[in-house]
Amino acid sequence: MIPGDGIGPEVAQAAARAVDATGVSIAWEVAELNSAIIEKMGQVLPPHVIDSLERTRVGLKGPVTTPIAGGFPSVNVALRKRLDLYANVRPVRSLPGLKTRFSDVKIDMVIFRENTEDLYSGLEHEVVKDVVTSLKVITRTASLRIAHQAFRFASTTGRHKVTAIHKANIMKLADGLFLRCCREVAEVFPKIEYNELIVDNASMQLVMRPETFDILLLPNLYGDIVSDLAAGLVGGLGVVPGANIGEHHAVFEAVHGSAPDIAGKGLANPTALMLSAVMMLIHLGEHEAAARLVSAVESVYAEKLALTPDVGGSSTTTGFTDAVVAKLRA
């Protein structure tokens, strides 16, 4: 467990309570990591964090503040590179009873985002003063394995369609390679419908017809942007879970940031991290417990019990968690 900072410790504690209430026996090994620790130690990933993840191979992570336009690099990006967590998986589903602009349609999509390269490779260079280049890296290896992950998921979970999202009309070499790899993998799964959309058109279609999407397959940068856009369709970052999965490690985390403006006020919505914990339980093979936790969270929303202010309620982090735990114990 990496609680993080800002609202991280609050939502991490809430998620742990919910998981424990399912009856699954988990010994939480806490590895503290926040902006103060990073600045003090001068390392984005101090040894105690990496040692813990190398030993346990599974982590549930709260948000860690990332400075903007300066300061230390993103902890998330560093973790993904260090542990080769190449698949960022973000399910986006409508929650019962949660009023949004899209409440009249059923949204149920899963975003598969390549997690290790593209413009997030961090290869930037100031050529001369005020002229900067940033290299976009797309490789066959990374593109094939994220495509395989998406199609395998579709095949094993009864999903029917994978949509590859790109800008190959402009970036013909980089995004062209990504598309060729997606097409190659699609041929291995002939029962899964495959189509392609240019990223700007995909963004429009997501807003106009979100119910038509099933699985979205994207390079790193587009995946980051589109996953937040999709979260906005179902109520925001506070209700969308996420997973970073590699061959040997997996780190599950909420999509949202550390929200320092509401930290310590009991206003944080722990839904996203609770649903990330659901993904963790599935990864660990605890499918029955995962199903019960999803059901408990959805029941609290459907009955509008103890919801936090960001989703139209007036309850607290603890109040929401108490309601979920009560549903589990019932």
Q: Which residues of 221-232 are buried (b: 16+ CB within 10 A; e: fewer)?
A: bbbbebbbbbbb
Cross-strand bridge partners of residue 243: 89, 252
Q: Which residues contact 158 (CB under 8 A, 6 or more apart)?
A: none
> Cβ–Cβ contacts within 10 Å for residue 129, how many?
6
The model carries a pTM of 0.93
Tell me, what's the pLDDT at 81? 87
Active site residue ranges: 120, 167, 200, 224
Tell me, what's the pLDDT at 7? 96
Q: Which helix (H) or strand (E) holds 278?
A: helix 271-283
Ranges of residues in the chain with a pLDDT under 70 are 67-73
Residue 65 phi/psi, 5-degree rounding, is -60, 135
Q: How far apart, in Å, are the Cα atoms of 230 and each of 75, 101, 164, 222, 297?
A: 23, 12, 15, 12, 20
Cross-strand bridge partners of residue 2: 61
Per-residue pLDDT reduced to its tens digit, 151-190: 999 999 999 999 999 999 999 999 999 999 999 999 999 9
Tell me, what's the pLDDT at 77? 82
Question: Rounded CA gap, 41 and 50, in Å?
Answer: 14
Domains and CATH numbers, the chain: 1-86+236-330 (3.40.718.10), 101-234 (3.40.718.10)
Tell me, what's the pLDDT at 38? 87
CB distance 124 to 159 below 8 Å: no
CB distance 202 to 215 below 8 Å: no
